[in-house]
């Protein structure tokens, strides 16, 4: 059993010297800890400690810490942990994070730290099972461009060093100190990628067995040096270019977009939300254009709302994916002169993406996460059908390729029209609670799980069996004697498209830069520009989102997919009356839920017209205000 003697010397004293914020119960929410930056010193230091212990628990694999508050205003900051596979922190450790962050006395700190050490590195007292050597912990820390991110990142580094050792300290490993690397400015998805790839390269650190060279990752297959930020750029640029090159010969020519007016213009306007995307996208675009030459794959990007230096003060201010999607409005820097231009918006840490444009009549349109989910699902289902991929090894004869499990995961916020479109095309749709960890976890249950929350956070997850099947199918096709049949050419193109998608799309987490390249490639392959995409799939039902403050949002609870409020009693019944009214039925729907990232209750309504949707949202807000303890001015 571990005891306080096992704790690194001085650890408790160091943590007691930086107490948690008064009167605050910290929760590790959908996106880690997130609050006003001035309240988080203790939390950052302790997350450094926790990351080192998590690394020991994971056998010395790299654990990531991302310092960001994503789409929140600049005065906020936050920190979230990245597990060895580049995924979000295992849900069972979220509780440990909250207990450690909220510990106020020496006893509370000792209790949680000893418990964590026992989990991370159980010692076996009996001589027959000698305690295995404790792995050397490894922690990588990255940050976004907020003015306070660097200072807070240093606190996390110091916290990690208290456990890892270094600075002359003896690491928890008892032997030589581990490693704490400040990898500096990165987008959140870049750190997810770097953590995943480094652990793929390391192989099983317990045995020290390095993976054979080139096998960068069991899911996306071999490839020279896809580790690190440079590897990230190399992987995305090469797979984007390979995807664009699968255009059917008749559709594209190397003469560039002007050769085929139906092709999208290579011009793209990118609203960077004054965030990290402005610093990181140019390197990716340069790598793309180095390989694109004058071909249709070329990207001519105009950056708007940039962040020239590290401490931007206007992060997400009247711009960025959250502002555009929630407000259904163009970002600053865009106006009616932009008719027909293809615009995209990142959020502050470049893990969310939405598209938008002014049509020739000067009307502004949003293409949100639902539009990307449907574009991706359409494209990948067609590629799967045309690839000739053999059915999964189901053990019984006669399996059909249709046995691969593909689904689009949506949340209650998905526009009803998108759900209808997918189901009408025979593409399975399942629902999950709102929050990246819920939809990501649900998507992992499928061979291809597609999820894009309406706010633009999303990705496509290929299961390992599916990924291996796609890669070996391509290998088989490449070895086949070149057959002139159109069928085999079609199979090759479709299979290559699946491989490129597998490698281009960030498998670890929603990634605005990776998603943008995927959309740009698919638009080129379909010969669509943004107006074609907007009208080529389905027409959104008008919708409206509101949020209001209540005394205590935990009085509200919802059912499994958050489409109905379970408490407070009577509230859902009142909403049902609104939805049953002749003016609203049959398309109108409204739901309310407590936010997991802000101290608000969110309201979403959609209906046949913008006016009905707005009125429905307002009437629902009044019911929430009256029945769930609204504060401030009653909605009117």
Q: Cβ neighbours of residue 81 under 8 Å, at least 6 residues apart? A: 32, 47, 50, 51, 54, 63, 64, 65, 88, 89, 93, 97
State yes or no: residue 602 binds ligand GN1 (CB under 6 A): yes
Which one, 515 or 529, has the nearer CB to ligand GN1?
515
Which one, 70 or 495, has the nearer CB to Mg ion?
70
Residue closest to Mg ion when measured from CB atoms: 70
State yes or no: residue 316 binds ligand GN1 (CB under 6 A): no
Which one, 74 or 467, has the nearer CB to ligand GN1?
74
Establish whether 310 is an annotated binding residue: no
Which one, 123 or 328, has the nearer CB to ligand GN1?
328
DSSP category for residue 248: -
- Residue (of 45, 20, 43, 22) closest to 32 by Cα position: 43
State yes or no: residue 597 binds ligand GN1 (CB under 6 A): yes
Establish whether 349 is an annotated binding residue: yes
- In the list Mg ion, ligand GN1, none, the entry touching 602 (Cβ below 5 to 8 angstroms by class) is ligand GN1
State yes or no: residue 436 binds ligand GN1 (CB under 6 A): yes
- The binder of ligand GN1 chosen from 137, 159, 320, 435 (CB under 6 A): 435
State yes or no: residue 561 binds ligand GN1 (CB under 6 A): no
Q: What residues between 445 and 464 interact with ligand GN1 by CB under 6 A?
A: 453, 455, 457
**Binding residues for Mg ion, how many (CB under 5 A)?**
5
Nearest distance from C-beta of residue 598 to ligand GN1, angstroms: 5
Element (H, E) at 402: none
Catalytic residue among 42, 55, 70, 173: 70
State yes or no: residue 349 binds ligand GN1 (CB under 6 A): no
Task: Give the separation between CA 590 and CA 425, rounded to whole angstroms.
Answer: 25
Q: Can you read off the two tokens belonging to residue 432?
A: 């999950």
State yes or no: residue 443 binds ligand GN1 (CB under 6 A): no
Task: Give the separation between CA 65 and CA 255, rounded to whole angstroms.
Answer: 45
Is 266 annotated as catalytic? no
Establish whether 455 is an annotated binding residue: yes
- The binder of ligand GN1 chosen from 295, 316, 387, 434 (CB under 6 A): 434
Nearest distance from C-beta of residue 436 to ligand GN1, angstroms: 4
User: Considering only 244-252, 377-385, 532-540, 597-605, which stretch makes contact with ligand GN1 by CB under 6 A?
Assistant: 597-605
Q: Left, alpha or beta for 166 (phi > 0: left; psi -120 to 50: alpha)?
A: left
Q: Are 178 and 55 in contact (CB under 8 A)?
A: yes
Nearest distance from C-beta of residue 276 to ligand GN1, angstroms: 16
Beta-bridged to residue 300, according to DSSP, are 267
Q: Cβ neighbours of residue 392 under 8 Å, at least 6 residues apart? A: 399, 403, 404, 447, 465, 466, 469
Task: Give the separation between CA 467 and CA 481, rounded to whole angstroms.
Answer: 24
Q: Where are the beta strands (DSSP E) in 237-376?
A: 267-271, 300-304, 343-346, 353-358, 364-367
**C-alpha pair distances (Å), 46 with each of 69, 158, 313, 338:** 17, 9, 27, 47
Q: What residues between 32 and 71 interact with Mg ion by CB under 5 A?
A: 70
Q: What angle do CA 450, 418, 608 make, to 5 degrees?
A: 155
Q: Can you read off the two tokens belonging to residue 257?
A: 């977009």
Three-class secondary structure assignment of 99-151: HHHHCCCHHHHHHHHHHHHHHHCCCCCCCCCCCCCCCCCEEEEEECCCCCHHH
- In the list ligand GN1, Mg ion, none, the entry touching 347 (Cβ below 5 to 8 angstroms by class) is Mg ion
Which one, 226 or 346, has the nearer CB to ligand GN1?
346
Q: One symbol per residue from 339 to 378: x for binding Mg ion (CB under 5 A), - otherwise; what is it?
A: --------x-x-xx--------------------------
Tell how strand 406-410 and strand 448-452 pair up: parallel
Q: Can you read off the two tokens belonging to residue 443?
A: 């998507």
Footprint on this chain of Mg ion (rule: CB under 5 A): 70, 347, 349, 351-352
Active-site amino acid positions: 70
Binding site per annotation, positions for Mg(2+): 70, 347, 349, 351
Footprint on this chain of ligand GN1 (rule: CB under 6 A): 30-31, 70, 413, 434-436, 453, 455, 457, 595-598, 602
């Amino acid at each position: 059993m571990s005891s306080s003697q096992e704790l690194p010397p001085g650890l408790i004293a160091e943590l007691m010297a930086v107490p948690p914020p008064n009167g605050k119960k910290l929760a590790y929410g959908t996106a880690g800890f997130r609050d006003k930056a001035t309240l988080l010193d203790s939390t950052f230091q302790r997350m450094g400690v926790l990351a080192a212990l998590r690394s020991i628990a994971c056998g010395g694999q790299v654990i990531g810490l991302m310092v960001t508050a994503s789409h929140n205003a600049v005065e906020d900051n936050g920190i979230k942990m990245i597990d060895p596979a580049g995924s979000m922190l295992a849900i069972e450790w979220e509780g440990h994070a909250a207990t450690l962050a909220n510990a106020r006395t020496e006893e509370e700190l000792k209790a949680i730290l000893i418990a964590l050490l026992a989990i991370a590195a159980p010692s076996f007292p009996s001589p027959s099972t000698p305690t295995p050597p404790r792995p050397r912990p490894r922690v990588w820390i990255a940050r976004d461009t907020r003015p306070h991110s660097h200072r807070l990142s240093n606190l996390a580094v110091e916290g990690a060093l208290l456990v890892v050792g270094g600075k002359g300290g003896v690491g928890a490993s008892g032997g030589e100190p581990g490693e704490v690397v400040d990898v500096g400015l990165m987008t959140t998805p870049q750190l997810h990628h770097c953590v995943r790839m480094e652990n793929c390269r390391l192989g099983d650190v317990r045995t020290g067995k390095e993976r054979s060279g080139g096998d960068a990752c069991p899911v996306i297959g071999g490839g020279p040096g896809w580790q690190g930020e440079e590897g990230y750029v190399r992987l995305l640029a090469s797979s984007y270019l390979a995807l664009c090159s699968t255009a059917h010969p008749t559709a594209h020519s190397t003469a560039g977009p002007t050769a085929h007016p139906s092709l999208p213009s290579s011009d793209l306007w990118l609203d960077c939300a004054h965030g990290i995307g402005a610093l990181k996208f140019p390197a990716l675009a340069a790598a793309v254009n180095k390989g694109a030459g004058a071909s249709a794959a070329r990207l001519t990007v105009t950056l708007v709302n940039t962040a020239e230096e590290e401490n931007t003060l206007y992060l997400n201010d009247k711009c960025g994916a959250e502002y555009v999607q929630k407000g259904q409005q163009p970002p600053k820097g865009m106006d009616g002169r932009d008719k027909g231009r293809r615009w995209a918006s990142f959020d502050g840490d470049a893990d969310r993406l939405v598209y938008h444009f002014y049509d020739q009549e000067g009307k502004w349109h949003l293409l949100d996460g639902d539009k990307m989910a449907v574009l991706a699902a359409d494209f990948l289902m067609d590629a799967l059908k045309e690839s000739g991929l053999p059915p999964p090894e189901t053990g019984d004869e006669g399996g059909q390729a249709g046995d691969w499990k593909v689904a689009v995961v949506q949340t209650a916020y998905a526009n009803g029209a998108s759900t209808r479109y997918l189901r009408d095309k025979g593409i399975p749709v399942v629902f999950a609670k709102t929050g990246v960890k819920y939809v990501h976890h649900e998507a992992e249950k499928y061979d291809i799980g597609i999820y894009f929350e309406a706010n633009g956070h999303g990705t496509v997850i290929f299961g390992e069996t599916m990924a291996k099947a796609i890669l070996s199918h391509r290998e088989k096709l490449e070895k086949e004697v070149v057959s002139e049949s159109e069928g085999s050419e079609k199979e090759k193109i479709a299979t290559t498209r699946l491989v490129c998608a597998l490698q281009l799309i960030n498998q670890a987490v929603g990634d605005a830069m990776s998603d943008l390249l995927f959309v740009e490639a698919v638009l080129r392959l379909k010969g669509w520009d943004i107006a074609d995409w907007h009208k080529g799939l389905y027409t959104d039902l008008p919708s409206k989102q509101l949020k209001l403050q209540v005394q205590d949002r935990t009085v509200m609870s919802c059912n499994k997919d958050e489409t109905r409020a379970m408490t407070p009693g009577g509230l859902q019944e009142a909403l049902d009356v609104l939805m049953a009214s002749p003016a609203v039925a049959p398309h109108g729907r409204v739901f309310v839920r407590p936010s997991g990232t802000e101290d608000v209750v969110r309201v979403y309504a959609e209906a046949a017209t913008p006016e009905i949707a707005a009125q429905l949202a307002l009437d629902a807000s009044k019911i929430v205000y009256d029945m769930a303890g609204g504060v401030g001015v009653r909605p009117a």
